[in-house]
Amino acid sequence: MQIFYNIAAYKAWHAKLKSKHASIGFVATMGALHQGHLSLIASANQENECSVCSIYVNPTQFNDSGDYEKYPRILDDDIAALEKQNCDVLFAPESGEMYPANEEEAPRSKLNLGVLAEVMEGEFRPGHFDGVVTIVEKLFRIIQPQRAYFGEKDYQQLAVIRKMNQEFGLPIEIIGCPTIRENDGLAMSSRNLLLSSAERTEASAIYRLLVKSKEQLKNLEVQQIKQRLIDDINRFETLDVEYIEIADAQTLKPIDSWDSAESAVCCVAVLSGNVRLIDNIMLYN
Ligand code: AMP
């Protein structure tokens, strides 16, 4: 695997690749890689001549500086995992590369994400999607992939990136990939590393209860499903629901009756101690 720590070195490599007309499948990550990330690399490898992974803990998408500081950083382990997964290129830029001191403030209002960025993560993590869009656009313009792979675990982020890609008219195919889970159902996440063993055990209830909600669809109204899910999760000592939303799976507009959307997704954010976990389940489509 080739590793580039700055943009110029990547661009020199890319210029050579371009003349061979080889396609690039790109996976953007913040590192502390797990099987969820590696499944995206596997898809990138399968569908392209070259796979490129980026590892960069993007400061502008954190609305809580403590969360940013404690975010796990284990680059050596990540490199080993990527080698094993046959990733072709790692782009691991220094912070100064992505946000040069002399760069003009990005005109963040240029993209109107509308309701997509106002609900759920947008409401509870103000500025988060501005940061995500800023860094993903920068990475897309540097990496210049033909395809980019994102996890459905971050359902709203996937919708935001699809919208950004469309609005900017970038020639990139965005591919959503299924959520990879631990054996007990907990969605894999770099933040799981920060859970105590009691927190880790109880965290598996989140997905279990999402599945239970889906099974109850026919018997309950939207509001009842949401309330039961909140109560069931909050019953666990280490879990505290931040939000639960049931939304149109296309527009992400919250719904209050089943017949108001052709497809619906239930998204949750739960605090386990001071670790924030998100997950979702497609209720019907
Ligand atoms: P992150 O490093 O958390 O920014 O995630 C990088 C990419 O991996 C994003 O597209 C995530 O949606 C995706 N991802 C994270 N966790 C999982 C998972 N458990 N299954 C599938 N994809 C995931």
d(CA 37, ligand 1 centre) in Å:
5
d(CA 45, ligand 1 centre) in Å:
16
Strand partners, 275: 272
Token couple for 198: 């009691």
Strand partners, 24: 50
What is the fold of 2-177? Rossmann fold (3.40.50)
190-284 has which CATH code?
Answer: 3.30.1300.10
Atom of ligand 1 nearest to the CA of 40: 22
In this predicted model, what pLDDT tens digit does every residue of 118-167 receive, in sequence order? 999 999 999 999 999 999 999 999 999 999 999 999 999 999 999 999 99
The question of whether 14 is a catalytic residue gets the answer no
**Which of helix, strand or coil describes residue 248?**
strand
d(CA 167, ligand 1 centre) in Å:
23
Atom 13 of ligand 1: nearest residue by CA position: 151
d(CA 122, CA 163): 15
Atom of ligand 1 nearest to the CA of 149: 10
Q: Residue 246: what are its φ and ψ, rounded to 5°?
A: -115, 120
Q: Which residues line ligand 1 (CB under 6 A)?
A: 29-30, 36-37, 39-40, 150-151, 153-154, 177, 179-180, 187-190
Cβ proximity of 122 and 156 under 8 Å:
yes
Q: Which of 26, 27, 29, 128 to mutate to test the pocket of ligand 1 (most atoms within 8 A of CB)?
A: 29
Atom of ligand 1 nearest to the CA of 187: 19
Atom of ligand 1 nearest to the CA of 189: 16
Q: Residue 171: what are its φ and ψ, rounded to 5°?
A: -85, 55
**pLDDT of res. 4:** 98
Q: Which of 26, 34, 38, 40 to mutate to test the pocket of ligand 1 (most atoms within 8 A of CB)?
A: 40
**pLDDT of res. 105:** 61
Low-confidence stretches of the chain (pLDDT < 50) are 107, 109
Catalytic residue among 14, 21, 34, 37: 37
d(CA 152, CA 280): 8
**pLDDT of res. 109:** 45
Domains of the chain by residue range = 2-177, 190-284
